[in-house]
Amino acid sequence: MLQLEIEGAGAAVAAQALTELEGFDAGWESLGDDGMTRRDPMTVMAALATIVGLVGGTLEIAERLIAWYRHFKQKAPSDKTIDKVIVQIGARRIDLENTTVAQLKTILDSLDF
DSSP for 7-73, written as a single string: ESTTHHHHHHHHHTSTTEEEEEEEE-TTS-EES-GGG-SEEEEEEEEE-S-HHHHHHHHHHHHHIII
Q: What is the pLDDT of residues 96-108, one digit of tens each?
A: 999 999 999 998 8
Model pTM? 0.84
pLDDT at 11: 93
| Domain of residue 11, residue span | 2-109
Number of domains in the chain: 1
Q: How many CB atoms lie within 10 A of CB 92?
A: 9
CA–chain centroid gap for 87, Å, is 7
**Most confident option among 21-25, 53-57, 66-70:** 66-70
CA 69 to chain centre: 7
Q: How far apart are alpha carbons 55 and 60 in whole angstroms?
A: 10
